[in-house]
Amino acid sequence: MTAMGYVRALQAVVWREVLRFVHQRERFVSALVRPLVWLLVFAAGFRAALGVSVQPPYETYITYETYILPGLCAMVLLFNGMQSSLSMVYDREMGSMRLLLVSPLPREFLLTAKLLAGTAVGVMQVYAFLVIAAAFGIVAEPWGYVTVLPALVLAGLMLGAVGMLLSSTIKQLENFAGVMNFVIFPAFFLSSALYPLWKMRESSELLWQICALNPFTHAVELIRFALYGQVDWVSLAWVLGALVLFLGASFLAYNPARGLMPKKAGAGEG
């Protein structure tokens, strides 16, 4: 297949995912309601308990709502990655993914295209969330809304790859919801999304170590620094490494010859 053929295939996959998202308005609303509840309701209680953090990259006093803003952006990406993977479970059995997997296109290209499409939708959701947060006076640096874009893309790809790997192990659609909760809530609460890691260390050394090893923590920190026009190189390395690991494992898992994908969805495919 020519390079133009690959480009057209990528455009088709991304455009289909965007159209699906546009037509599923309840998915858009639910994607925004969840982080807004944390931002506007739960933050009041957490602010009273934790106060504020004046840690790098901050040079000025910030509110607790501003502190958790990057973590909630990462939450949007995490939930979107899981939702996209949920749709892959259905599509792999009865929808378009089943047809794509038997096309002449390499399996790795199709999975990457699906991941890019899901990430594009997730980034759009994050910017919609940031606009609403700004309407309530919770804002970042003006240039931060531009510099955060690469961080959102990388974090979205990494978190989407996690969901893609999980989707390869699920045979029935109804089982995926339980798996989502098993992954989402530990990843979110055992991270720096809601509180600084040094606060966690004051409570428990073991929990602090778990938080420091959590890839979601580094996705949050990558976004947090990017919102202030800076780069957390350690978190960048963690996110890139986790992306390569999870995406590579997804390629293997979706190969029915040696992976975990149910053979009835891929037997005989090249």
- The DSSP-derived string for 241-255 is HHHHHHHHHHHHHT-
Q: Is the pLDDT of residue 21 over 80?
A: no
Helices (H), 136-232: 144-167, 176-189, 197-203, 205-213, 215-226
What are the distances in angstroms from CA 190 to CA 42, 65, 171, 197, 213? 17, 19, 28, 9, 10
> Which pLDDT value is given to residue 232?
93
pTM beyond cutoff 0.75: yes
Among 147-161, 173-187, 236-250, the minimum mean pLDDT is found in 173-187
- Tokens for 14, please give them: 């991304």
Residue 61 lies in a domain: yes
Place of tokens 């399996």: 107
Domain assignment present for 33? yes
124 is a domain residue: yes
Check if the beta carbon of residue 74 is closer than 8 Å to that of residue 228: no
In a domain, residue 46? The reply is yes
* Closest-CA residue to 132 (of 229, 40, 223): 40
Number of domains forming the structure of the chain: 1
Is 170 a member of any domain?
yes
Spatial contact of 207 and 200, defined as CB atoms under 8 Å apart:
yes
Is a pLDDT exceeding 60 seen at residue 180? yes
147 domain-assigned:
yes
What range defines the domain where residue 36 resides? 3-265
Structure tokens at 111: 């999975």
3-state DSSP assignment of residue 75: helix
Rounded to the nearest 10 degrees, what angle do helices 3-23 and 25-37 cross at? 70
Average pLDDT over residues 142-154: 94
Has residue 270 been placed in a domain? no
pLDDT of the residue at 269: 42
pLDDT in tens, 45-92: 666 555 544 454 544 446 777 888 899 999 999 988 888 777 776 666
Amino acid 93: pLDDT: 62
